[in-house]
Amino acid sequence: MAGEETGSIGVGRSGKIYSTPLGRLVTTFILAATLFLAMGLVALQPASGWSWSIADWRSPAQTDPAIWSSLLTGLMAFIVAAWVWALKPANFAAALFALSGLATLIFCFFSFPTSLALPLREEVISWFWILNMLGASAFGIIMICLFLIYPTPVPKWRGLALIVVLGFGVWTVLRTFGPWQKFAEVQTITTVEMMVIVITVIWQVRVSSIDPRQKAIANWLGASTLVGAGAFIGTVALPITFGSLPLVRENYAFGFFLIIYGGLALGLMRYRLFDMGIWAYRLVFYAIGALLLIVLDLLLITLLAVGRAQAVGLSLLLVGFAYLPLREQLWRRLASGRERNDELLFLQVLDVSFRSNSTDRAEAWVNLLRGHFSPLEVVSGSDSTMEPEIEDEGLALTIPAVGDMPALTLKYNNHGRSLFSTKDLVSVRHLVLLAVQVLESRTAYDRGVSAERIRIARDLHDNIGAQLMRALHSDAPDKKDSRIRETLADLRDVINHAHEAAIPLDEMFADLRAETAERLDPHGVSLVWTLEARQETRLVPANIHALRSVIREAASNTIKHANATCLKVEARVTQHNVRVEIEDDGQGFDVLAVDRGQGLENMRARVCGSGGDFLIQTSEAGGARLIATFPLQRYEQ
């Protein structure tokens, strides 16, 4: 089938220069450059006749600029076409493209015999026009055949191509050689060919509409061809055909063909297919704007007898205030695609991220993407995907895993009617980034909730438990009631985890000392209390909770497990840290073998969680020693 690569022409182990893409490109470029230099040498020749002396040559500034315009157009068209063929030598469409480049080079290089200063014989001038006519007609024939097969072969393309070749070929030959020779007929031939090209391109767009990739190529080729061919037809071919002077000199108008060659090169190389639809609309809109500017300029000059400068100004004003707003509206409808509500999308991402479990989140994520892009298929993607990417020339869009939501691949955008574009890629990147940020926020929230629960559990065990134990061992009913009320106050403080104001250090230690002594006294345990700190020092709630919890839990353990007669508490507050040493003279325990229980682990967690150190020591003679050190966080009023 046309357009499929079945082999590599000229590729082998022969070692020839054209066996590689670079070799083929260099070879064709050398041939084109040699012919360019030869024709340039002809253009520089003086009116006195051919001369090999550089001193006799004219400077390029003395030559007709139209000569160099034709030469550069032909050279650039051929190089672009040769480059595509060099990369795809076995592709039939690329081969036709290369032949069209050669035809363009020929008709451009032999289009200016009357602009040369060098005197030429009549037969030489005739051969200039013959080659120009053959090249121009061949360009039209090849382009029609190319659009019959690319990007999608049209029905019965072989028969149609044969009719085109025979029809325009015979017409061209009859008008180039023999009794019906008429070189001026080339304008009519090329005009008809251009119109057939436009019709073929429109047909190609319709035939290629089934496959989104082929449709994108066809739209792009159609836009570039309509603009390039339409500009040449409107400015040169039609005016000459109807007996008028061209609006633009023919040699300059050849430059319009470079638009066609640029579009064909991108289409044949299938470069960024997913953006070609947007490119096509933009190219058409810009061309329409330029055409309106020219038409308005001509109408103002011819109908209203307005000066050229004033006409240009009025044309710009009318195009700016009339066409550009209309173009903006059309652009939103045709090129912008489906309207998407960013606020609703943000809410949907939030809804997905805050689902209760991973299964619901994954299902909601798929539904969000379905609603946003309307793909025909959503399949599992590769876990190795790190960033959203467009694949299969825009048919698929891969999305990486987001948190516990799996990687996905979306296929056939917009119900299979369009390709995934760069705009879609940017959109899904924003979606993924937003989902990642929301999930991270949710994870941080969950961690905060868990930490708060752990804190409350520790405070209930260390502080509330100690307070209730104190009330339990109190003999006086009034004291028992008072301690229960204090415990309830502490319970509210644990839940709220906030103090209206920081407590002075000496006041906090005085209350804690009295509480500890009162708890130890019923059990026959004396208290030795030592404090080294400045009286004006105020601690933040985190330090206060840690100090209370450590001292209270240590006192509880001494009462319940140590069989001690004395408990020593030494607190030292320096400029940078708080150090508490608690020691009893009880029976001690094996640090490695004992079950530490919830209390010891809570103390360790509180101190280490504040960035401090926690150490428990015991000796053979009995007794246990606890050392807790953590950074000091001062209260800033």
Same domain, 122 and 220: yes
According to the model, what pLDDT value does residue 183 have?
Answer: 80
Q: 404, 362 in Cβ contact below 8 A? A: yes
Q: How many domains does the chain have?
A: 4
Kindly tell me if the per-residue pLDDT of 339 is higher than 60: no
Kindly tell me if the per-residue pLDDT of 15 is higher than 50: no
According to the model, what pLDDT value does residue 70 have?
Answer: 92
According to the model, what pLDDT value does residue 7 have?
Answer: 34
* Maximum average pLDDT range among 56-65, 314-323, 392-401, 452-461: 56-65
Kindly tell me if the per-residue pLDDT of 3 is higher than 50: no
Same domain, 146 and 38: yes
Instruction: Give the C-alpha separation, 117 to 287, whole Å.
Output: 37
Q: Which of 280, 305, 336 is the last residue of a domain?
A: 336
Banded model confidence at residue 170, pLDDT cuts 50, 70, 90: very high
3-state secondary structure of 502: coil
- Residue 561 maps to a domain: yes
Kindly tell me if the per-residue pLDDT of 154 is higher than 50: yes
Kindly tell me if the per-residue pLDDT of 195 is higher than 50: yes
Same domain, 72 and 28: yes
Q: Which residue has the higher pLDDT, 314 or 375?
A: 375
Region 175-196: mean pLDDT is: 84
Same domain, 157 and 262: yes
Instruction: Give the C-alpha separation, 67 to 175, whole Å.
Output: 25
- Residue 617 maps to a domain: yes
Same domain, 321 and 408: no
> pLDDT exceeding 90 applies to what percent of the chain?
14
Other C-beta atoms lying within 10 Å of the C-beta of residue 209:
14
Q: The whole model's pTM is what?
A: 0.55
Same domain, 128 and 183: yes
N-term to C-term CA, the chain: 84
Q: Which of 428, 445, 462 is the last residue of a domain?
A: 445
Q: 72, 40 in Cβ contact below 8 A? A: no
Mean pLDDT of the chain: 77
Region 548-568: mean pLDDT is: 85
Distances (CA, A) of 111 to 67, 189, 253, 386, 614: 8, 16, 12, 56, 95
pLDDT in tens, 210-233: 777 777 777 777 777 777 777 787
Domain that holds residue 309: 272-336
Instruction: Give the C-alpha separation, 227 to 223, whole Å.
Output: 6
- Residue 523 maps to a domain: yes
- Residue 469 maps to a domain: no
According to the model, what pLDDT value does residue 610 have?
Answer: 73
Instruction: Give the C-alpha separation, 311 to 22, whole Å.
Output: 50
